[in-house]
Amino acid sequence: MRELILGGVRSGKSRYAEEQALGRGGELLYLATATAGDGEMAQRIVHHQQQRSPRWQLIEEPIALPQMLQQEAKEGRTIVVECLTLWLTNLLMDDDEVVLRWQQDWLVELLPTLSGNILLVSNEVGMGVVPPSPLSRRFCDESGRLHQRLAQCCERVTWVVAGLPQTLKGIEHG
């Protein structure tokens, strides 16, 4: 089962993904894409780690997400990817168009072939004001296109608002 979980900042999407993963049983892997570039981000990472059950394994991978998923996905394991927008930011900041396209294409092509459960968490950024800077506008465009592509190849797409999951595609949540 592949699920794309979208929502705004502090919408409850990460907590929802973790609850879904715990409910599926088996091995749990948290695949984190964040890098602690500053003190505030380091605190956010520590806060997330402290809130998770000790059952979780953790791998941090800011760029090579498809490679890591290919290596780690297997029957009986649930992987939570947190989060796609940070991964996309890392790719954009690398400023290599070929790698940006290749990584996104690979993820979209690979995802339907993976074993186990994959929960992809991402920030929906396309509902606000058009950003003033070219890089910010490009980020919004890239994340919107990536979300559309992933929604097509995921069995379930969930929108989380104020901690409340809303099914956009697939089976209703129990």
AA identity, residue 138: R
According to DSSP H, which parts of 52-127 are helical? 65-72, 84-94, 97-110
Catalytic positions: 48
**Helix (H), strand (E) at residue 15:** helix 13-24
The CA distance from 94 to 90, in Å, is 6
The CA distance from 114 to 67, in Å, is 11
